[in-house]
Structure 1
Amino acid sequence: MTISVQRTGPGPVSPSATQHMVRMRDGVRLATDVYLPVDPQPGPVILTRLPYDKCGEYTFMPRVAAYFTARGYTMVVQDVRGKFRSEGETLLFVNEAYDGHDTLDWIVQQEWSDGVVGMWGDSYYGFTQWAAASTGHPALRAIAPRVTGTRLGELPGPVPGQRTHDTEMGVARVYPLSMFHDQDMLEWEFDWTRRPLAAQVEEFFATVGSRSASYDVWFPHPVTLRRFPAGSPFDAPPVPVLMTIGWWDNCAPWSWHDHREIQRRPAWARNEYLLLEAIDHENHSHFELDPLVRTADSDAALPRYLDPAIEFFDVFLRGQDRDLPRVRWQLANSGDPAHRTDVAWPPPAAHEIVLRPAGAAAAAGAAPGGSLTAAPTGSLTTAPAETATWIHDAADPVPSPVADAFSFLAEYPDERHLADRPDVLAFTAAPVTAPLDLAGPIRLRATAGSDGPEMDLFARLLDVAPDGTAKLIARGQQTILDPGAAFAVELDLGHVGYRLPAGHALRLTVASSDAPEFVPAPGTGEHRWLAVTTVPNRQRLRLGETALTCTVLSEGKAPR
C-alpha cells in the first residue's frame, strides 16, 4: 500500500507581530511572536505555547492576539520546541515545563512587561500551562487551560494489581506521527482494517524517510515520559485557574481528573474556577448546531471563546475588584446559552437517581430494546437475575458514530441505528412527562464477563426524541483485564448539563467496541497494535447487578 502524506509548514508571520528567537537554558531557540496593544505601556502579558504553528490557520492566533491586544494585553505566542519555526528535538510533553519557565524569564525582562503573566489556550496549549505552573515561576499569576489535562494523551496500560484501565484512543499513537513527527504537520490516512496496525506506521516512516522519537518512546517498549521534571503541578504553589471543560469534549476525562486532584488540595481548590460549556474539543457549541450558523472558529465565536478568560485575567492579572462565580455552566438543549452560576459542582440542589436496565432478550434486538426504570438508590441486589449476552468481533466492530471525535458536535449524528446491531445492548426508559435537567456526574455500575482474555465495555446515554432520533448525552468506557465470568466494574460517563425535554426518553446502550475512535480488542489478548488475527468473544452483562446513576435537578420527573 502506498501512503500519501500531506505536509504543512509554517504560515507567514503576522504583520501585527514581531518574531523573536528566545534562547532556552540549553541554547535551543524558540520562535516567539509578540503582539503589542496600541498603547504598549508595561503591563500584564498573555502567553500561549503551542505545537500547531503560531502563525497557522488552525489555531488562528493572530485573531486571538488581536482580541487580547484590543483589551490592552500584550500577547506572546510561541512554537514549542521542535515545531515549525522553533529549534530543537521534536518530542511531545517532556520539554514544556522548563521551556515554559525560561520563556517566562524572558518575558519579564522585556520593556513591555510589568512582570505579571497569565497563560491561555486549548488542548496541548492547555497542557503547556500546567507544565509551566509546575515550575512555580513567580511571574505566572493565573492560567486558563481549556479542554485539556495534565494527563493529556496518556496511553493506558496494565497496572500491577489492577484489572481495569482506560481504553486506548485510536488517535493516541497516531498523534505523534502527525503533530509531533518533525517540525511540520503531517496528515495521512490510517487504515484501521489492516493488521497488524503497527506495520502501517513502519510504512509511514519509510514514506517520509525518518522516524518519530515521540512514537518510538511509546512503542513497542514504552518509556515513562517525565512530563513534569520539576514535580507535579499540584505540588507547586497554587495559582488561580479557570478550567474550561466541554460536555462533548472527548478529552474531558483528563480535565475531570485534574478537577478531582485539585479538590484534594485545599490551596488549589481555593483557586479553582470552573467553566462548564456545551462544546466539543474544537469549540463547536451545542447551541449552534445548524451548519448554516455554526461559528466554532469564526470571529463571531471569539466573544464566547475569549471573554470568560479576559474577565478572569482582569481580576487576577490587573487586580480588578470583581467577584467571579466559582462555577459557571451551560444547560445544553435548554434553548438558553447563558451561563448558570453555582458555588460548587455538582450544583448543591442536585440529587441522584438510579435507573436499572431489564429485559435481556429484548436488549439484544432492535430498538427500543429492553427497559430502563427508576429504582431506589442502593437496591442493586433486589433486581431479577438476568444476563444479557452479545458477541464482540474486532473484525466487525461497532462503528464510531462520527468521523472526527474532536469535532463531535460538527456532526452530532442520529445514533438510533447503532441500537439495532446485535452486538449493542439497548435499554430505553419511558418518555418523561416534564423536562428533566441532568446536572452532574453519570456513572454505570455493572457486573460484566467474557470468555475472552480482556473486555472493553462502552456505555452511552442518549436522548431519544418522539420520532426515534437518538442523540448522545454522555458516554464512558473501560477495559477489563481477565474479566472471567463476572467482574464488578464502574464506568465514569463524565459530567453533563443537559435538559431532556418532555416527551423524550433516556436510552442506555452497552457494547464492546467503538472503532476507530478506540482501538478494538482483538479477542486474543495480544497487543492491539501487533495482533494479526482476531477472535470473536462472547460478552455478558448481569442486569440485576447493573445500575445507571444520574445526577439531576428536577425532582419527581425521572423516568418511571
Structure 2
Amino acid sequence: MRDGVRLATDVYLPDHGDRHRGEHGDAHVPAVLVRLPYDKNSRYVYFDEVAARFTACGYAVVVQDVRGKFRSEGPTVPFLREPDDGYDTIDWIVRQPWSDGLVGMFGDSYYGFTQWAAVASQHPALRAIVPRVTTVDFNATAQNTAPVGRPVWLEGIEYFAHYWVDQGVYDYEPDRAVRPVIDQFEEAFRAIGARSTWFDLLAPRFTDLFPARGLHPFDARPVPVLHCVGWFDNIVTPHMGDYMELAARPGWDAVQYLWAGAIDHENYRLADAPATEETDHATNPAALARMLPDYVDPAVEFFDVFLKGTRRVSELPKARWELGHAGWRTSTSWPPPEAVERTFWLDALDGLDGIDGLKLDGSAAPPGGAAAQWTYDPEDLVPSLVPNSFAQLQSYPDLAPLTTRDDVLTFTGPALAAPLDLAGPLALDLHVTSSAPVFDVFVKLLDLGPDGQAHPIARGEVCVRADAAPDDVRVDLGHTGYRLRPGHRLALLLASSDYPMYLPASGSDENPWTTVAAKPSTQTLHTGGALPSRLVLTVLPAPDAQHSPTPHAQH
C-alpha cells in the first residue's frame, strides 16, 4: 500500500483467456477483486470454490485480507483505510501482465462495504461492483439517536468485539445476566488482554467516524452495481435503503440493478428452511456445490456485460427477485410497476378475533378510538428466539411462543382465502406513548400458518424519545418479496425488548450501556378514531403465474 503496509493477497488465474496475450504469454483478462476481513483461505468464505467458478468463465480472481486482519499487516481498525487500500490494490492489479486493465468487485457484508469504499476512491479501472447483503454505512445499525432512531443492535456490536481486536478472531460467550451490559464485554477484553478499538468507538457512546474523510461513494462517479439482497438478511433494511436512495439519483439509477432472493445473510434459503444435514452448505460440500451457482452466476452475468462486453445490457433485467414460496420474477423496476399499496388498520377494540383478542382489519379505518397496552420488564426481557439473526433461515424457529407473552401485543388478520403477494416496502405507522422518557418498539411481521407456527416475514424497530417524538411514529420494516398462502394469516407483534439481539432499554434517561438497574415501563398504543395506527404493505394485485424458475440465466 502507499504507506508500505503489505496486504496478503491470493490470485487465481483462468487456464485460458481472451485472444490477447501479455509479454509473458498470460491471457489479458479482467479481474474480480474481493477484499475481506474473514480469512481469505477459510472454509467460512470458501473462495477456492468461488474462484473456480469465476476462472472457469475467464476471470482472474484476486482475494485479499484487509489491513490488520489475518495475514495482512497494519493496525486492526475497520473502515477507515478501505478507500485508499482499495485504490492501491486496483492499481496493483492493472499493472499485472495478465490484466486487461478492467476490474470488478464482489462480496458479502463487510466485503460489500469495501466495494463501496473503492467506488469512493474513484479508480478509473473499477468498472462494476456486486455488493451482497451489505450496506454503505454499517455504523447506522449501531447508533441510538433521538427523537426517533434505532435501538442499539447488540448482536452487530458483538461482531466488532469478536472480529476487530487484532489479526485473529475471539470466540466467547458473554454472560447475558451481567449488568451493566458493557461489563459483559469488559470481562472478555480483560480475558483477552486486548481491546477492540472500534467497539470503544461505538460503546458506551456512539462516535460517528464514517465516512471519516473523503468522498461519499454515492457522490462519486457512478459505477454499474448489482445489489444482491436477501429478503431475510438482518441488514436488508439499510441495504434496500441504499438501493432506493440511488434510485432517486438519475446517474446511478441508470446503472443499478437488483437481484433479491429469499435468503439470509449467510445464504441459507427459505426453500430449505430450516437447514438440515443434507442442505446445510456450511457443513455439507454437496450442499455448497448446489448453493454456489445462485451465489456466483448472477455476478458472472453482470461482469460479462460490464467487464467483458460478451453480453448486452438489454439482457439484464433491472430487477430480478424471488417471491418467497412462489418462485422468481423479473420487473422493469422495484417495486414492480404493478404493485399497489394496501393498508391494514390496527383495531384494539374488536375482540375475540385472533390472538389475544386483537386483529388487523384490511377494509377501513376503525371509526372509534381504542387503546391497548404492553409492558417492558427489564427483569424478564422478551427473548430473541433466533439464535443467530445472520443465519435465521438455518434455524427458522417458530416464533408463536412470543404471542402468548403478556409483554407482547399481537394483532392478527383473517385466514386468507387466496394468496397475498407482498412485493415492495413495508411500514408500520403507530400512535404510541410511554411512561418512560425513552422507549423502544420492536415489530415483527409474521406468517401464521394453519398449524399454529409463526415464522418471520419482516421486522423493524425504533427508539423513541417521548418528549420530542412526532404524534405518529413510522417503523420501517424494510422490503420483501413473499407469498402468504391460502389458510395462512398475517400476524403483527409489538414489544419493547428483543434480547440478546438488541441492547435493553434503561427505561430512563440513563445510557442503556451503563445502566445497572433499568426501570420498567408501560407503552400505550392508540388505534382508530383521531389516533389511527396502520400497517402499510406493498402487494401485487393478483398472483402472477408467469415467473422464472431460476434466479439466473443458464450457461
TM-score (norm 1): 0.90
SS in 1 for 2:527: strand
Q: Tell me, yes or no, if the aligned pair for 1:282 and 1:296 is still in contact at 8 Å.
A: no
Give the SS at the match of 1:186.
coil
**Equivalent in the alignment of 2:292:** 302
Per-residue CA shift, 1:482-522, capped at 9, x if unaligned? 25898410011111111111111111111111111111112
Task: Name the CA distance, whole Å, in 2 between partners of 1:504 and 1:105.
Answer: 54
Q: Structure 2: which amino acid aligns with 1:317?
A: L
Change (3 A) 1:140 1:387: same
In terms of mean alpha carbon deviation, does 475-484 or 422-431 score higher? 475-484
Q: How does 1:165-244 map to 2 (within 5 A)?
A: 165-227=149-211, 229-244=213-228
CA distance in 1, matches of 2:463, 2:495: 12
Gaps (5+ residues) in structure 2? 17-25, 283-287, 545-555
Q: What is the Cα-based RMSD across aligned positions, in Å?
A: 2.0
Deviation at 1:292, TM superposition (A): 4.4
Given that 1:118 and 1:317 are in contact with CA atoms closer than 8 Å, whether structure 2 keeps it comes out as yes
Aligned to 1:540: 524
- 1:439–1:177 distance in 2 versus 1, CA, 3 Å: same
| Equivalent of 2:361 in 365, 373, 377 | 373
Q: Is 1:324 aligned with 2:316?
A: yes
Secondary structure class of the residue paired with 2:430? strand
Any unmatched runs of 5+ in structure 1?
A: 1-23
Residues 1:353 and 2:338 aligned together: no
User: Shift in Å at residue 158 of structure 1?
Assistant: 5.5
Asked whether the equivalents of residues 237 and 479 of structure 2 are also in contact (C-alpha less than 8 Å), the reply is no
Partner secondary structure for residue 427 of structure 1: strand
2:331 to 327, 342, 346: 342
Matched, 1:414 2:398: yes
**CA offset at residue 367 of structure 1?**
2.5
Q: Which amino acid aligns with 1:291?
A: T
Residue 201 of structure 1 deviates from its aligned partner by: 2.1
CA distance in 2, matches of 1:420, 1:484: 32
Aligned to 1:12: none
Deviation at 1:556, TM superposition (A): 11
**Amino acid in structure 2 at the alignment position of 1:314:** D
Asked if the contact 1:146/1:243 (under 8 Å) is kept, the reply is: yes
SS at match of 2:375: strand
- Does the aligned pair in 2 maintain the 1:119–1:143 contact within 8 Å? yes
Q: Specify the alignment match of 1:519 in structure 2.
A: 503
* AA of the residue aligned to 2:445: L
Question: In the aligned structure 1, how far is the partner of 2:433 from the partner of 2:257?
Answer: 40
The correspondence for 1:446, drawn from 423, 430, 441, is 430
Q: Deviations over 1:279-307 (max 9, x none)?
A: 00000011122524424441221001111
**Matched residues in 2 for 1:318 and 1:54: separation?**
25
Conserved? CA contact 1:455–1:483, under 8 Å: no
Q: Is the 8 A contact 1:450 1:485 kept in 2?
A: no
Distance 1:383 1:94, change over 3 A: farther
Which residue identity is paired with 1:311?
A: E
- Whether the 8 Å CA contact 1:295–1:301 is kept in 2: the answer is no
| Alpha-carbon distance in structure 2 between the residues aligned to 1:76 and 1:228 | 27
Q: What CA distance in whole angstroms lies between the structure 2 residues aligned with 1:253 and 1:485?
A: 22
Does the aligned pair in 2 maintain the 1:142–1:240 contact within 8 Å? yes
AA in 2 matched with 1:61: F
Report the CA distance between 1:167 and its aligned residue. 1.7
Which shows bigger deviation, 531-540 or 186-195? 186-195
Amino acid at match of 1:131: A
Name the CA shift for 1:304/1:157 in 2 (closer, same or farther; >3 Å). Answer: closer
Matched to 1:344, the amino acid is: S
Residue 172 (structure 1) shift: 3.0
The Cα shift of 1:177 comes to 1.5
Q: Which amino acid aligns with 1:34?
A: V
Match of 2:45 among 52, 56, 59: 59
Q: How does 1:21-420 map to 2 (within 5 A)?
A: 24-39=1-16, 40-157=26-143, 162-227=146-211, 229-289=213-273, 291-297=276-282, 298-322=288-312, 323-334=315-326, 336=327, 339-359=328-348, 367=355, 369-376=357-364, 379=365, 383-420=367-404
The equivalent residue for 1:8 is none
Q: Kindly report which structure 2 residues correspond to 1:462-481, keeping only aligned pairs within 5 A, or say none.
A: 462-481=446-465
Amino acid across the alignment from 2:267? N
Task: Find the counterpart in structure 2 of residue 491 from structure 1.
Answer: 475
- Comparing 466-475 with 309-318, which one deviates more in the overlay? 466-475
User: Cα distance, 1:260 vs. partner?
Assistant: 2.1
Q: Match of 1:348, as an amino acid? A: P
State the distance in 1 between where 2:468 and 2:433 align: 5
SS at structure 1 position matched to 2:491: strand
Rounded to whole Å, the distance in 1 between the matches of 2:389 and 2:14 is: 37
CA distance in 2, matches of 1:199, 1:361: 45
Distance in 1, matches of 2:91 and 2:63, equals: 15
The more displaced of 483-492 and 193-202 is 483-492
**Is the partner of 2:456 in helix, strand or coil?**
strand
8 Å CA contact 2:410–2:491 kept in 1: the answer is yes
1:80-127: per-residue Cα shift (whole Å, max 9, x none)?
000000000000111111100000010000001111000000000000
Amino acid at match of 1:30: L
In structure 2, what is the Cα distance between the partners aligned to 1:221 and 1:165? 15
**Counterpart-to-counterpart distance in 2, 1:317 and 1:110:** 17
SS of the residue corresponding to residue 155 of structure 2 reads: coil
1:153 Cα deviation from its structure 2 partner: 4.2
Counterpart residue type for residue 354 of structure 1: T
1:237 and 1:428 map into 2 onto residues whose CA distance is 47
Correspondence for 1:552: 539
Per-residue deviation, residues 418-461 of structure 1 (Å, max 9, x unmatched): 11101111111111111111111111111111011211111111
Q: What secondary structure is seen at the aligned counterpart in 1 of 2:492?
A: strand
After superposition, the C-alpha distances for 1:48-84 in whole angstroms (9 at most, x for unaligned) are 0000001111111111111111111110000000000
Counterpart contact for 1:30–1:79, Cα < 8 Å: yes
SS in 2 for 1:503: coil
- 1:307 partner amino acid: D
- Scaled by the length of structure 2, the TM-score of the pair is 0.91
Deviations 1:322-364 (A, max 9, x none): 3200000001012x3xx3100011111111111112235959x
The answer to which of 467-476 and 179-188 deviates more is 467-476
Deviations 1:178-225 (CA, angstroms, capped at 9, x unpaired) = 111100011110222210111222222221112222222333454321
Aligned to 1:7: none
Corresponding residue SS for 1:173: helix
**Structure 1 residues 158, 466: CA separation in 2 closer, same or farther (over 3 Å shift)?**
closer
Paired with 1:45 and 1:242, the residues of 2 have a C-alpha distance of: 17
Q: Secondary structure at the match of 2:154?
A: coil
Classify the secondary structure of the residue corresponding to 1:29: coil
8 Å CA contact 2:77, 2:164 repeated in 1? yes
Instruction: Kindly tell me the number of residue pairs found equivalent between the two proteins.
Output: 524
- Of 436-445 and 520-529, more deviation after overlay is shown by 520-529
Q: Structure 2 counterpart of 1:341, which letter?
A: T
Partners of 1:309 and 1:45 in 2: CA distance: 12
